[in-house]
Amino acid sequence: MNIFEAENLYFLGPEGTYAHSAMQKFVKNLDIKVKNIIPVYPITAVFKAIEKDKNAIAVLPIENSIEGIVRETIDNLVKLEDKAFKIVAETVIPINHCLMSKATDKADIKEVISHAQALGQCAGYLCKNFPNVRITPASSTSEAAKSLQDKDETHAAIAAEVAANLYGLNILDRNINDVLDNKTRFILLARGERPATGYDKTSIFFSVNNEPGALFNVLSIFNMYKINMLFIDSRPSRKKMGEYNFSIDLEGHQTDAKVEAALNLAAEYTGNLIITGSYPRFKD
Amino acid sequence: MNIFEAENLYFLGPEGTYAHSAMQKFVKNLDIKVKNIIPVYPITAVFKAIEKDKNAIAVLPIENSIEGIVRETIDNLVKLEDKAFKIVAETVIPINHCLMSKATDKADIKEVISHAQALGQCAGYLCKNFPNVRITPASSTSEAAKSLQDKDETHAAIAAEVAANLYGLNILDRNINDVLDNKTRFILLARGERPATGYDKTSIFFSVNNEPGALFNVLSIFNMYKINMLFIDSRPSRKKMGEYNFSIDLEGHQTDAKVEAALNLAAEYTGNLIITGSYPRFKD
């Protein structure tokens, strides 16, 4: 069975956001074949959808370079009752806000609409280029772009390029966020496993007791096997006082001899060690 | 000089959000004395305000139990040119969404307004209690509450309790989020240092080269000194390929002999080790 074929593909909605771009990139690069592509909001609802749907794949955000890890995704992934669901791919989408409008000339713009966070991220650009326009917050960048359909040419929205395509708007300026190098990493979930490619990572989740040395013992295993850590996140477990949960990405595939041996040993020093996926690393 | 006295206190705005509650809690518990209390949005703008204002303190979110670490806060904290600014306190605010309205009877409600994320977090409650109302997204929970001022008694908002107080609304239901135990940790920034209390933490930031053992060497120092880690976050540095940044919270105060010795040794194995604060740990 091809893990990239399914009846339904769910992605974090609404349409026209950066998750939509990530989904399109996965579909193209991995030659994904699905009958239906369905935006779902919020993250937890995407997981509810795939738990009920035996013939599904899903696209979700896992980490943003400014905002940090998306724990709602990891929490739900770890709790999935259907353990066949794994991370099978990752991709990175640059957060490049665009100014878009029915107008073709920036001089026509009297009002700019977007999500408050995107407006904040483009405050410098707006002050410099549109010192006198009205600024109006919307519930999402995509919703701002959509709302232009009922508005005249004096209105513009700040949103992802994919939203301009979706709602037939002209892009007046690209990459207008003041903080550049804002990126979001997305994962693809499917029932199945990816074979080793030689440039892979393995995502794991486990808990240890909160006592000096508990995490250190686990990390010393990876160190002894000369396995590099690519990512680590920690926080208190909400199940038990003094217990900590960790999400770690390791270099290498779970079928590599040293990764396999290290994970077997680590299982002795952790509670509830789960491999959430072993898959090719993103390459620019 | 009392570090809890200043001309201006800046907090992450708008008014009526959970950052507002955190600010009020700090003011009360630490007996903060300021002339002006100023909401600023977004996080980066709060840092710009305190860099320019020599007589200021600030309240910012640092970590959410669902969303993860707030890297925008850490990034700005590390980049602050005025190194006298430190984390001097932390507090934890439960994210308890309330349903509020001019109405006093839930049976009158025909439309519920809130931020899309809050609507998502209360989807189960809304389906069960208001299966037929209209759901309308707003740019923030606080904005939703504020908008009720111009609306009749058939409208309700989902927001923080502080927003109901701010806009004179009745609370019809408390704690309506489907996922309970959603909390945000906030920090107080001021120019100065806190003395040791016997129940402290020390927040540090550093970079290491991305090679097997680099982080492990640093963590082995804390292990040898029997210092527990309370929190760890990692990610690629955006300055240099193959360089990783770490944020770690250690148990203990920077003036504790073993913490001081460990940090001195750790400085030899890291690039750019910064102590972002040493302050009392939050107690429930």
Residues 6+ apart with CB under 8 A from A268: none
Q: Between A68, A116, A216, which is nearest B70 by CB?
A: A68
B116 and B153 fall within a common domain: yes
B13 and B148 fall within a common domain: no
pLDDT by residue (tens digit) across B184-207? Answer: 999 999 999 999 999 999 999 999
Count Cα neighbours of B282 within 13 Å in the Cβ-side half-sphere.
Answer: 18
A9 and A86 fall within a common domain: yes
Question: How far away is chain A from the Cα of B43, in angstroms, using its nearest Cα?
Answer: 9
Q: Which of residues 124-183 of B touch A (CB under 8 A)?
A: 137-140, 143, 179, 181
Distance CA A174, CA A111 (A): 18
Q: Which of residues 49-68 of A touch B (CB under 8 A)?
A: 63-68
Q: ipTM > 0.90? A: no
A contacts of B67 (beta carbons < 8 Å): 67-68, 70-72
Can you give the pLDDT at residue B238? Answer: 66
Q: Of A125-134, A181-190, B44-53, which range is least confident?
A: A125-134
Amino acid (one-letter) located at A84:
A
Can you give the pLDDT at residue B236? Answer: 72
A155 and A115 fall within a common domain: yes
What is the chain B residue with the closest CA to A75? B66
Q: Between B67, B120, B181, which is nearest A71 by CB?
A: B67
Which of the two residues, A280 and B76, has the higher pLDDT score?
A: A280
A164 and A218 fall within a common domain: no
Q: Which of B235, B247, B251 to mutate to test the interface with A (most CBs of A within 10 A)?
A: B235
A258 and A155 fall within a common domain: no
DSSP per-residue letters across A204-253: EEEEEESSTTHHHHHHHHHHHTTPPEEEEEEEE-SSSTTEEEEEEEEES-
Predicted confidence band of residue B242 (pLDDT cuts 50, 70, 90): low
Predicted confidence band of residue A271 (pLDDT cuts 50, 70, 90): confident
Q: Between A123, A140, A228, which is nearest B211 by CB?
A: A228
Q: ∠ CA A226-A227-A228 to the nearest 5 degrees?
A: 115
Can you give the three-state secondary structure of B222-277, one letter per residue? HHHCCCCEEEEEEEECCCCCCEEEEEEEEECCCCCHHHHHHHHHHHHCCEEEEEEE
Cβ distance A139 to B143 less than 8 Å, yes or no, reads no
pLDDT at residue B180 tops 80 = no
pLDDT by residue (tens digit) across A63-106? Answer: 887 777 888 899 889 989 888 999 999 999 998 999 999 999 99
A272 and A219 fall within a common domain: yes
Q: Between A44, A115, A231, which is nearest B234 by CB?
A: A231
B141 and B274 fall within a common domain: no
Task: For residue B140, give both structure tokens.
Answer: 């923030």
Can you give the pLDDT at residue B240? Answer: 63
Residue A144 burial class via C-beta count within 10 angstroms: exposed 0-12, middle 13-18, buried 19 and up: buried
pLDDT at residue A30 tops 80 = yes
A68 and A186 fall within a common domain: yes
Cβ distance A234 to B233 less than 8 Å, yes or no, reads yes
Q: Which of A164, A191, A218 is the last residue of a domain?
A: A191
Cβ distance A63 to B235 less than 8 Å, yes or no, reads yes
Cβ distance B65 to A235 less than 8 Å, yes or no, reads yes
Which of B213, B192, B190, B204 minimizes the C-alpha distance to B260?
B204
A contacts of B139 (beta carbons < 8 Å): 115-116, 137-139
Q: Which of residues 210-249 of A touch B (CB under 8 A)?
A: 210-213, 215-216, 219-220, 222-223, 226-235, 238
pLDDT by residue (tens digit) across A172-211? Answer: 999 998 877 788 999 999 999 999 999 999 999 999 887 7
| B191: three-class secondary structure by DSSP | strand
Q: Which of B64, B72, B185 to mutate to test the interface with A (most CBs of A within 10 A)?
A: B72
Distance CA A229, CA A227 (A): 7
B186 and B48 fall within a common domain: yes
Give how far Cα B116 sits from Cα of A31, A181, B113, B141, B239, Å. 32, 26, 9, 9, 34
Which of A187, A143, A190, A170 minimizes the C-alpha distance to A280?
A187
Percent of chain A with pLDDT over 70: 97
Question: How far away is chain A from the Cα of B239, in angstroms, using its nearest Cα?
Answer: 11
Kind and range of the H or E element at A168?
none
Return the CATH number at B242: 3.30.70.260
Residue range(s) defining the domain that contains residue A146 = 98-173
pLDDT at residue B214 tops 80 = yes
pTM for this one?
Answer: 0.81
A54 and A187 fall within a common domain: yes
Distance CA B178, CA B120 (A): 9
Query: How many distinct structural domains can be found in chain A?
Result: 3
Predicted confidence band of residue A22 (pLDDT cuts 50, 70, 90): very high
pLDDT by residue (tens digit) across A226-250? Answer: 998 888 888 777 666 667 889 999 9
Question: How far away is chain B from the Cα of A41, in angstroms, using its nearest Cα?
Answer: 7
Return the CATH number at A155: 3.40.190.10
Can you give the pLDDT at residue A69? Answer: 81
pLDDT at residue B261 tops 70 = yes
B121 and B22 fall within a common domain: no
